[in-house]
């Protein structure tokens, strides 16, 4: 059997090694158009910032090492320019010599990945306008930074690569501005989680222009003008386009393969395309979302590696299946960690799912052990079945651990209340006896049993007017004086039982505290004294973060844009 693989990196390289482990006699040929057949995409920004010091650390395998270990023929700087399914051949161009030849195959695997999205802006090809997707892109940016010592940069886009670049370039001392069309960074997050990310970026001197659209670029002599829709141009020494990626599927389209979402390659759960003997994996393929069951694109290394393994199994006569992508991901931004799994509210609403949600702010470990820090957690679940739909966490130590537990629980089909039964490791430096994931279970169980009724930050404007309801803040007097939601009067929790006569019976009571915990205790007290009580999910901490973020967004040039 002869297997030709188009593209290396995650999916192609994984598939090649797996095929060899399953079939010692197979002839395996890999064609990769770049200089590097397997490299760490996610590490590229950290080489630019000097965290990773040697470029060879980015390359996981070389053609020589792959041949030495697996006897796989890897050809870098070789671009497959056409597929001929009827002949079971591909046309290949040696980019160094210009030689063109045909290569036959019994089985063909496409791992063509994705390319940086490049709208038809004016000035996209200019010398000081960069993209970041390959090792070559990384070396080009690093060389420019080392040789020209730029003082300012504009990053167009607010996703994973942009945020990682922002941190690394800011740590080099550069003025960094992110321009994002939507009014938040990281679209997989919801607005009420992204506000904590925005605060961290501003705290570290990153300028955020949210809700602005880039229209093009123009050289201004010493640097670049970044042209904006309905706003004054920005000036910077360099620009990086980081507005997302697009499936690289020209080969598939010209070969007649069926295409789906955003021209991605349609595959079945065996990673087979619409043409026999052709498989596809990675960022170029359409997948089913494991939560909604809808067709989507999820460009992450984990799914690409799994798909490569599954395709290899099936090429070698097995029957492995891909059950969809859940979208679990994690991101470091300065000293903060952002993590998510499943779907956000925007996707849930678009899918028409009847859902509910909770917010909580637990510490990453026992509060009496030094160094504990608060994390912001948001969990979505189906209203009637309590099926977990998604989670977002922003914090510091321990965020990655909790998102992985929640991702595993979702994959295993656990419901929200069942999280309370998980037997998770505990020691004061690492967790609490009631782990934050257990707390999620406790809260959802309380909702399921009718012990907890909630209202949210976006409900505040719709609450019954004064006279028809009581709005209560149960924080301490000192906390209340430092800032409170308008219309909420203060009765500290520890005084509540003695001051019940101050709350008018027969009217609903809406209760707020700092995080939602004390207000829940207050609601339990009030409910057992006959009051109809609602707890403010997320508390004043979440409310204050949203208000502060929106006040920044109202400014035309937040966070010192005059420096650029």
Mean pLDDT along residues 136-154 = 95
Length of the chain: 564
Look up tokens 């490569």; give the residue: 308
Q: Which residues are registered as beta bridge partners of 340?
A: 329, 392
State both tokens at 131: 């993209």
Number of alpha helices (DSSP H) and beta strands (DSSP E) in the chain = 14, 32
Q: In sequence order, which ranges of 149-211 are alpha helices (DSSP H)?
A: 160-171, 191-203
pTM over the 0.85 mark: yes
Residue 93 falls in the annotated catalytic set:
no
pLDDT at 211: 94
- Percentage of the residues of the chain whose pLDDT score is greater than 70: 98
3-state SS of 492-522 is CHHHCHHHHHHCCCCCCEEEECCCCHHHHHH
Residue 564 pLDDT grade (very low, low, confident, very high; cuts 50, 70, 90): very low
User: Residue 558 above 50 pLDDT?
Assistant: no
Exposed/middle/buried for residue 532 (C-beta within 10 Å: 0-12, 13-18, 19+): middle
CA distances, 492 to each of 183, 495, 513, 538 (Å): 36, 5, 9, 18
Could you tell me the pLDDT band of residue 54, with boundaries at 50, 70 and 90? confident
Q: What is the pLDDT of residues 228-272, one digit of tens each?
A: 999 999 999 999 998 888 999 999 999 999 999 999 999 999 999
> Would you give the DSSP letter of residue 117?
-
Give the 3-state secondary structure of 2-45.
EEEEECCHHHHHHHHHHHHHHCCCCEEEEEECCCCCEECHHHHH
User: pLDDT category, 58, cuts 50, 70, 90?
Assistant: confident
- pLDDT tens-digit map of 321-365: 999 999 999 999 999 999 999 999 999 999 999 999 999 999 999
* CA–CA dist 144, 520 (Å, integer): 55
Q: Is the distance from CB of 129 to CB of 217 less than 8 angstroms?
A: yes
Q: How far apart are CA 249 and CA 253, in angstroms?
A: 6
Quote the percentage of the chain above a pLDDT of 90.
87
Which stretches of 230-371 are assigned E, i.e. beta strand? 231-236, 238-241, 245-247, 278-280, 287-288, 295-296, 329-333, 336-342, 355-360
- The pLDDT, as a whole number, for residue 561 is 39
- Read off the pLDDT of each residue in 139-162 and give the average, rounded to a whole number: 95
Catalytic site residue from 42, 93, 316, 523:
42
- Give Cα separations from 193 to 115, 185, 375, 407 (angstroms): 28, 10, 11, 18
pLDDT tens by residue, 446-466:
999 999 999 999 999 999 998
Q: How confident is the model at residue 8 (pLDDT cuts 50, 70, 90)?
A: confident
172 has a pLDDT exceeding 70 = yes
Q: Is residue 94 predicted with pLDDT exceeding 90?
A: yes
**In the predicted model, is pLDDT for residue 473 greater than 50?**
yes
473 closest CA partner among 459, 488, 495: 488
SS3 461: helix
Give tens-digit pLDDT for 488-511. 999 999 999 999 999 999 999 999
pLDDT at 560 over 80: no
Question: What distance in Å separates the CA atoms of residue 325 and residue 297, rounded to the nearest whole number?
Answer: 9
Average pLDDT, rounded, for the chain: 94
The predicted model gives 537-560 an average pLDDT of: 81
Q: Report pLDDT for 559.
A: 41
pLDDT attached to residue 119: 81
| 190, pLDDT greater than 90 | yes
Q: For residue 352, how far is the Cα from the chain centroid?
A: 22
Closest CA to 111 of 36, 206, 199, 4: 4
What burial letters (b/e) apply to 193-226, b meaning 16+ CB within 10 Å? bbbbbbbbbbebebbbbbebbbbbbeeeeebbbb
Distance CA 176, CA 169 (A): 7
The candidate with the shortest Cα–Cα distance to 271, out of 280, 263, 262, is: 280
In contact, 278 and 252? CB cutoff 8 Å: no
* Euclidean distance between CA atoms 283 and 280, whole angstroms: 10
Sequence-distant (6+) residues with CB within 8 A of 486 are none
Residue 556 in this model has a pLDDT that exceeds 60: no
pLDDT above 70 (res 557) = no
Cα end-to-end distance, the chain, whole Å? 59
Distance, in Å, from the CA atom of 108 to the CA atom of 539, rounded to the nearest integer, reads 55
pLDDT in tens, 390-443: 999 999 999 999 999 999 999 999 999 999 999 999 999 999 999 999 999 999
Nearest to 194 by CA among 556, 548, 557: 548
């Amino acid at each position: 059997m002869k297997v030709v693989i188009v593209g290396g990196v995650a999916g192609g390289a994984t598939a090649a090694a797996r095929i060899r482990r399953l079939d010692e006699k197979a002839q395996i040929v890999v064609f990769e158009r770049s200089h590097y057949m397997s490299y760490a995409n996610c590490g590229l920004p950290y080489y630019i910032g000097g965290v990773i010091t040697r470029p060879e650390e980015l390359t996981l395998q070389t053609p020589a090492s792959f041949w030495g270990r697996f006897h796989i023929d890897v050809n870098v700087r070789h671009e497959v320019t056409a597929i001929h399914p009827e002949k079971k051949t591909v046309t290949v161009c040696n980019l160094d010599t210009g030689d063109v030849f045909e290569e036959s195959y019994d089985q063909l695997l496409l791992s063509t990945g994705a390319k940086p999205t490049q709208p038809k802006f004016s000035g996209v090809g200019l010398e000081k306008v960069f993209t970041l997707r390959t090792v070559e892109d990384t070396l080009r940016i690093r060389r420019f930074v080392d040789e020209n010592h730029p003082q300012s940069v504009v990053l167009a886009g607010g996703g994973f690569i942009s945020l990682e670049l922002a941190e690394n370039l800011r740590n080099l001392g550069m003025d960094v501005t992110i321009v994002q069309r939507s009014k938040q960074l990281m679209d997989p997050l919801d607005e009420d989680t992204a506000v904590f990310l925005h605060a961290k970026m501003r705290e570290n001197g990153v300028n955020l222009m949210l809700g602005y659209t880039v229209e093009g670029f123009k050289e201004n002599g010493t640097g670049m003008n970044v042209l904006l829709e309905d706003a004054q141009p920005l000036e910077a020494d360099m620009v990086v386009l980081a507005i997302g990626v697009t499936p690289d599927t020209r080969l598939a389209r010209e070969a007649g393969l069926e295409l789906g979402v955003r021209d991605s390659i349609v595959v079945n759960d065996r990673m087979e395309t619409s043409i026999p003997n052709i498989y596809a994996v990675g960022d170029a393929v359409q997948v089913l979302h494991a939560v909604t069951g809808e067709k989507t694109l999820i460009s992450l290394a984990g799914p690409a590696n799994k798909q490569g393994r599954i395709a290899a199994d099936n090429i070698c006569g097995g029957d492995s299946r891909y059950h969809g992508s859940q979208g679990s991901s994690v991101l470091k931004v300065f000293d903060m960690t952002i993590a998510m799994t499943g779907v956000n509210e925007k996707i849930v609403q678009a899918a028409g799912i009847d859902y509910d949600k909770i917010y909580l702010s637990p510490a990453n470990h026992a509060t009496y052990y030094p160094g504990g820090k608060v994390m912001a957690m948001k969990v979505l679940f189906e209203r009637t079945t309590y099926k977990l739909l998604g989670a977002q966490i922003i914090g510091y130590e321990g965020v990655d651990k909790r998102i992985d537990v929640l991702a595993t629980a979702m994959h295993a089909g656990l419901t929200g209340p069942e999280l309370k039964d998980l037997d998770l490791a505990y020691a004061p430096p690492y967790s609490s006896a009631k782990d934050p994931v257990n707390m999620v279970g406790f809260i959802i169980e309380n909702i399921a049993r009718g012990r907890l009724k909630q209202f949210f930050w976006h409900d505040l404007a719709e609450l019954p007017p004064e006279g028809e309801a009581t709005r209560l803040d149960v924080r301490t007097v000192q906390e209340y004086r430092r800032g409170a939601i308008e219309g909420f009067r203060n009765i500290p929790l520890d005084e509540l039982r003695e001051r019940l006569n101050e709350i008018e019976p027969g009217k609903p009571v809406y209760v707020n505290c700092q995080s939602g915990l004390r207000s829940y205790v207050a609601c339990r007290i009030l409910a057992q004294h006959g009051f109809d009580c609602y707890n403010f999910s997320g508390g004043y901490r979440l409310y204050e973060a949203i208000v502060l973020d929106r006040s920044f967004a109202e400014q035309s040039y937040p966070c010192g844009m005059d420096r650029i």
